[in-house]
Amino acid sequence: RTAGGACPALSFTVHMVGDLQAVTTYAFSFNVTNPTAGQASPAVRIATVGVATTNFDPGCTAEEYPACPLAAAEGDATLHPLHVLQAGMVSARMGQSTPYPAAINTLTLTLLPSVPILDASPSIQDGSFVTLTGLAGASAPT
């Protein structure tokens, strides 16, 4: 982590052990853990070392080359690399079973999260929690 608490950017390097054939598509897949907060897709770049190549993108400037930005997938932004949705609640409601004094009252919390809320993740050290506050005047069995 950096002084501000952010994680440094990761990089992925492929060491060639053989030739890549011309006009042949090669795909490389690897797993990462997304951050816990939403973010737009960062500017992912590609560079080559040890072989003379031409620009990957005609829009790549001389100052950027040989580390040119990669074009993002067309269409839906959620397909862009490392675009992470912001977690939140689409709906959060609470109701009760009875308004009568000294009665046993069942409170019901109904949540509709905008994204899956993970309990166990390497980036969420103590798990996820939902906390209700302001339950003034209520008591619960101990």
Residues 6+ apart with CB under 8 A from 108: 94, 95, 96, 97
pLDDT value for 64: 62
Asked if 9 and 44 touch (Cβ cutoff 8 Å), the reply is no
The predicted-structure confidence for 43-83, as pLDDT tens digits, reads as follows: 777 777 776 555 555 556 656 655 666 666 677 777 778 88
User: In angstroms, rounded to a whole number, what is the distance separating the alpha carbons of residues 3 and 88?
Assistant: 27
pLDDT digits (tens, 9 = 90+) for 20-52: 887 888 888 888 888 878 888 887 777 777 765
Name the percent of the chain lying above pLDDT 70. 70
Tell me the sheet residues that pair with 68: 46
Cα gap 85→9, rounded to integer Å: 19
| Residue 28 DSSP SS3 | coil
Q: What is the pTM of this model?
A: 0.58
Spatial distance between the Cα atoms of 116 and 34, rounded to a whole number of angstroms: 13
Cα angle 95, 117, 33; round to 5: 170
Report pLDDT for 2.
45
Helix (H) or strand (E) holding 108, with range, is strand 107-113
Mean pLDDT of the chain: 77
